[in-house]
Structure 1
Amino acid sequence: MGAVATPVAVVTCMDGERPHGTTVSAFTSLSLDPPMVVVSLDRNSDLLKLIRRTRRFGVNVLSSEQSEIASVFARKGTDKFADVAWDLDAELPRVRGCVGWLACDVARLVRGGDHTLALGDIVAAGHLDLPPLTYHQRRFGTHNSFEMLSADGG
């Protein structure tokens, strides 16, 4: 799967007054009607335990300038937000400067191997017009768009 470029997101949740989060690269749109997404979390993750309890999570799709944030949230530990600018939005942590942000209510949790898929109903969203952070072959990058030429070269 390393040959497949994926978006990089930080999934967040609140534990009382304390924010929690983890980096994921397994995140995708599930449905337009109703608007839903899927994130994949390690079955043993502390964040998943919080999501099970609170039944809510945020998805912060990182910009191409936020690879260090992705690395911080990929590590174990409880103080990941110490040097990260964030706001509370829809009662969930929103990382400043992210490309896209979603607040979700858990629709369903589905076990899949050593991970759990969190299916989320989107209840709030926002975005910035910035290039996204991607992960491909164990390296961070971004998406570069190009114009397709027609068959006649025009």
Structure 2
Amino acid sequence: MPRRLRPVELDFVATAPVRHVHERDMAAPVEAVYRALEDVPGWAEWFAQVSAARPVDAGAGRDITLTGGIRFRETVIAAKAPEVYAYRVDVTNLPGVRAIAEEWRLTPARGGTRVRWTFATDGTAAYRLAAKAARGGQARAFRDALRALDRRLNP
């Protein structure tokens, strides 16, 4: 059953009770990586856990479906090309969650891009425990997604 989450802003990525921060370098230039983040439908082509993605509200939001059936209606809370792309989840069918925000921060690095992804969340005690346990899986998904994106941007 879909439910509305607490609306959070960009500062939540630094203050959330559960935060996962992952970093990785890519060969692709910062501008190309940023364009890929803004290309919402393209996420399903390089992020394996995303089965469907579409922009809504004239690009101010996103509808995301993950491979396991979890759905998110998101609002873009920062789009500062080419450095920061961030969004929060407004509505989801994921149980126990109260707030989610994700930030993608891009910086030039060794002829390419350093990508730092922060997943920030809050929820019930059981949800927070499960979210902490999912850190390793998120790290692998992030690594695999950036490898696929790099291949896509540098064929």
TM-score in same-fold range (> 0.5):
no
Larger Rg: 1
Higher strand share: 1
TM-score (normalizing by structure 1): 0.29
TM-score (normalizing by structure 2): 0.29
